[in-house]
């Protein structure tokens, strides 16, 4: 049992760290990111599931950002409408009840509230390596893909 405990403890601590770090994710103007859920996935050793709520004020937006190389993301629009662009794909408007995904290592150059008068909310669910403590980082000019 002593051998199993440390192996199980590391992913749990990493998942807890990701949840606490959720507040440190790429923030833009009029956007707040709140940790919602974090847990190691027992049948996928080394993987964690992390969920965050992204609330956009009217006209709010995220900074262009990149997600961790291991992170698969499912995004669900809870309320309002969100304009999103993943990698080099087209900008698209997602309304409440609609969803999209991002493959591991994706860039997210556009993520914003489609409305200048009503708030919007997005639930982002990450499946990532438990050791990835930074799930989202702002894109600097040197990080942008051509």
**Per-residue pLDDT band at 140 (split at 50, 70, 90):** confident
Q: Does any domain span residue 145?
A: no
How many structural domains are present in the chain?
1
**Cβ–Cβ under 8 Å, residues 60 and 33:** no
Q: How many CB atoms lie within 10 A of CB 107?
A: 18
What local confidence, expressed as pLDDT, does residue 27 receive? 56
Cα Rg of the chain, angstroms: 16
Compare 18 and 126 and report the one with higher pLDDT: 126
d(CA 98, CA 77): 6
- Kindly report, residue by residue over 54-77, the tens digit of the pLDDT: 999 999 999 999 988 899 999 999
**pLDDT > 80? residue 29:** no
More confident residue, 26 or 29: 29
| Domain membership flag for residue 146 | no
Across the chain, mean pLDDT equals 81
Higher pLDDT, 103 or 140: 103
Angstrom distance (rounded) from CA 119 to CA 102: 23
22: domain range? 4-138
Tell me if 143 is assigned to some domain: no
> Measured at the alpha carbon of residue 39, what is the angle toward residues 36 and 80, in degrees to the nearest 5?
25
Any domain includes 88: yes
Please tell me the least confidently modeled range out of 9-13, 44-48, 52-56. Answer: 9-13
Could you tell me the CA-to-CA distances from 51 to 20, 33, 56, 125 in Å, in that order? Answer: 12, 10, 16, 4
Q: What is the pLDDT of residues 77-92, one digit of tens each?
A: 999 999 999 999 999 9
Q: Which residue has the higher pLDDT, 31 or 142?
A: 31
Q: Look up the CATH number of the domain holding residue 128.
A: 2.60.120.10
Q: What's the pLDDT score for residue 34?
A: 92
Please answer whether residues 60 and 134 qualify as being in contact, where contact means their C-beta atoms are separated by less than 8 angstroms.
no
The residues, any chain, with a CB within 8 Å of residue 127's CB and separated by 6 or more, are 41, 44, 47, 48, 49, 71, 72, 73
């Amino acid at each position: 049992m002593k051998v199993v405990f440390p192996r199980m403890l590391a992913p749990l601590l990493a998942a807890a760290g990701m949840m606490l770090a959720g507040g440190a994710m790429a923030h833009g103007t009029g956007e707040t990111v709140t940790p919602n859920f974090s847990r190691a996935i027992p049948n996928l050793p080394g993987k964690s599931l992390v969920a965050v709520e992204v609330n956009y004020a009217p006209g709010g937006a995220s900074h262009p950002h990149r997600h961790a190389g291991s992170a698969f993301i499912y995004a669900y629009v809870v309320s309002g409408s969100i304009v999103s662009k993943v990698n080099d794909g087209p900008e698209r408007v997602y309304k409440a009840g609609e969803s999209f995904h991002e493959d591991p290592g994706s860039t997210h150059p556009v993520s914003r509230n489609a409305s200048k008068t009503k708030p919007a909310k997005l639930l982002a669910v990450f499946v990532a390596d438990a050791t990835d403590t930074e799930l989202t980082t702002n894109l600097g000019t040197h990080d942008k893909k051509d």
